[in-house]
Structure 1
Amino acid sequence: MRVWQKVTVSLIGAAVIVACSQSPTGRSALRLFSGSEMDQLGARTYAEIKKEEKISTDRRKIAYVQCVTDDLVAALPAPYSGKRWEVTLFANDEANAFALPGEKIGVYEGMLDVAKTRDQLAAVIGHEIGHVIAEHGNERMSSQTAAGIGMQLGGILAASEFDQETVGLAMAVLGAGVQIGILLPYSRSHESEADQLGVDYMAKAGYDPAAAAKLWRNMAASKGAQPPEFLSTHPSPQSRIQALERYESQAMPVYKQTIARKGQPDCQRPSS
């Protein structure tokens, strides 16, 4: 059996020890870690970020971000809608936002320049919440752990039959194959799923689903050259926009029902 065949067997063997489950959209998910472990990791990471980053004191912006978040949280599936989500606005000009296990959300002030409406801000925060509810952090850590186990087993098998130079070349090729063939596409699938979940949440909260594609147009315009999609951890901007536009029609009836039932959200975007 050739070295890459044996390594493939090793990767498969490592994969069978991973807990199998489904994501909110029905995609097969691999999770090695418990929810409590991920919540603890999220809380520690959040505390570290709050120590390293300057926290905004702009009360109007803080209230605005909190208002949009509260609307989204109220529309989440149980048990997430019944939990208290901690929100922090950071005084940083970077267009960035994140959410962590344990109901932690961070938004950078620079994102408010890119998300030009409350609907677009809802798309950002909804997307990040989607990562948490789909347990993408758990999957990401699990896939990296499984890949690491496979690499170690493959190295042991290769070393038993081949000289050091051949083993080194084989492991380098395997490392690139794991990175490009497993870890990066996995992350792209997470991003696409979080886009879809975010649109679902914003529609249920009364925010216009069409704003999601508009947001990513703004994001694409604000960034420089992008890496090829197959080498990126994110879908290309055009792929993402097209997917959001296709999904928009599915979310629009929910949005219209929400607006008919309770009216438009009343979160007020601060003037510049």
Structure 2
Amino acid sequence: MMKKMFGTMLPAVLAATITVACQTVQTTGGGAVGVQRSQLMMVSAQEVEQASAKQYQELLAEARRKNALNRDPATVQRVRHIVSRLTVQTRAFRQDAPSWQWEANVLSSDELNAWCMAGGKMAINTGLIERLRLTDDEIAAVMGHEIAHALREHVREQVSKSMATGLGISVAGALLGVGQVGQELMGTVAKVTFELPNSREHEVEADRIGVELAARAGYDPRAAVTLWDKMATRSAGAPPQWLSTHPSHANRQRDLADYAARVMPLYQSARR
């Protein structure tokens, strides 16, 4: 996942001692790529999605104040068209996902960045599109990867891990907007989404699901390989900070090429 966003907006996250019931869940089906792993959750999907939705609105409000939100209608239309094709295909992993309140925006920023919050609120920076001269297939690779994080509820999983290790707040039934507990959960969700790195396991899952979403939507899944080649070239051999815990470039390229080949029949079928 691509991170580093609006760090000054994060509220302080305090430790708490509220007991929360642990729950082992399977957030998605395996799809053709076979991503199947049980996840331990200590906070509800509803709570994390509410926190993400509120944080998203604050981020958009700040972008508006800076005149950095959706400044180029053609680019916005291009991105939203690609995202709409991807989100229809999320049913391959979750039956409920196509009906999520998906939203995509474009932020004017030179940073090579894109992200998708819990529940399907996402954005991509103009710097990523323009500096890397992304094709539609490559934008689909970026956004498919980010959408995959949301489908797998990686933010919820990271928040739960933070709670379990005593690094974040434990909450039970805390709906957003309800006092300080809700604010602290919102801060934890934002910190996990934009500051803390994803595990390599999360990145591999997002890569694999992302190439399948792209293929099912009629975008060439092999574009994921060219995308990360461009990233490596742009970073002059040293990965950007937000990629510090991602799989090594060579390993990632091999895995992406392997899984892109596996889903090529889906791509070819979608193109007919």
Q: Same fold per TM (> 0.5)?
A: yes
- Match in the other structure for 2:249: 237
State which of 76, 83, 101 in structure 2 corresponds to 1:62: 76
- Match in the other structure for 2:261: 249
- Match in the other structure for 1:106: 123
Q: What is the rounded CA distance, in whole Å, between the counterparts of 1:82 and 1:22 in structure 2?
A: 19
- 1:163-194 CA distance string (max 9 Å, x none): xxxxxxxxxxxxxxxxxxxx97x711101100
Aligned AA for 2:54? R
- Match in the other structure for 1:215: 227
- Is residue 2:106 matched to residue 1:89? yes
Asked if structure 2 preserves the Cα contact closer than 8 Å seen for 1:123 and 1:211, the reply is yes
Quote how far apart the aligned CAs of 1:238 are: 2.0
- Is residue 2:137 matched to residue 1:119? yes
Q: What is the rounded CA distance, in whole Å, between the counterparts of 2:40 and 2:238 in structure 1?
A: 29
- Is residue 2:52 matched to residue 1:52? no
SS in 2 for 1:55: coil
Structure 1 segment 111-260 matched on structure 2, within 5 A: 111-113=128-130, 114=132, 116-148=134-166, 187-224=199-236, 226=238, 232-260=244-272
Quote how far apart the aligned CAs of 1:52 are: 2.8
Asked if structure 1 preserves the Cα contact closer than 8 Å seen for 2:25 and 2:40, the reply is yes
SS in 2 for 1:75: helix
Q: What is the rounded CA distance, in whole Å, between the counterparts of 1:225 and 1:148 in structure 2?
A: 36
Quote how far apart the aligned CAs of 1:201 are: 0.5
Q: Which structure has more helix as a fraction of its residues? A: 1
C-alpha spacing 1:115/1:43, structure 2 compared with 1 (3 Å) = farther
Q: What is the rounded CA distance, in whole Å, between the counterparts of 1:233 and 1:80 in structure 2?
A: 28
Q: Under a length normalisation based on structure 1, what TM-score does the superposition of the two structures give?
A: 0.72
SS in 2 for 1:199: helix
- 1:86-132 CA distance string (max 9 Å, x none): 11110111111000112201111111122521000000000000000
C-alpha spacing 1:52/1:237, structure 2 compared with 1 (3 Å) = farther
Q: What is the rounded CA distance, in whole Å, between the counterparts of 2:39 and 2:88 in structure 1?
A: 26
Quote how far apart the aligned CAs of 1:235 are: 1.4
SS in 2 for 1:238: helix
C-alpha spacing 1:133/1:115, structure 2 compared with 1 (3 Å) = farther
% identical equivalent positions? 36
C-alpha spacing 1:120/1:106, structure 2 compared with 1 (3 Å) = same
Stretch of structure 1 that moved more, 63-72 or 81-90: 81-90
Asked if structure 1 preserves the Cα contact closer than 8 Å seen for 2:212 and 2:260, the reply is no
Asked if structure 1 preserves the Cα contact closer than 8 Å seen for 2:200 and 2:247, the reply is yes
Quote how far apart the aligned CAs of 1:224 are: 4.6
Q: What is the rounded CA distance, in whole Å, between the counterparts of 1:93 and 1:243 in structure 2?
A: 28
- Is residue 2:32 matched to residue 1:18? no
Stretch of structure 1 that moved more, 20-29 or 134-143: 20-29
Asked if structure 1 preserves the Cα contact closer than 8 Å seen for 2:101 and 2:119, the reply is no
Structure 1 residues without counterparts, runs of 5 or longer: 1-15, 150-182, 261-272
Aligned AA for 2:83? T
Aligned AA for 1:236? S
Asked if structure 1 preserves the Cα contact closer than 8 Å seen for 2:22 and 2:41, the reply is yes
Aligned AA for 2:137? D
Higher relative contact order (CA 8 A, sep 6+): 2
Structure 2 residues without counterparts, runs of 5 or longer: 1-19, 29-34, 168-195
Q: Under a length normalisation based on structure 2, what TM-score does the superposition of the two structures give?
A: 0.72
- Is residue 2:51 matched to residue 1:37? no
Larger Rg: 1
Aligned AA for 1:194? A
C-alpha spacing 1:116/1:244, structure 2 compared with 1 (3 Å) = same
Quote how far apart the aligned CAs of 1:206 are: 0.4
Quote how far apart the aligned CAs of 1:27 are: 1.1
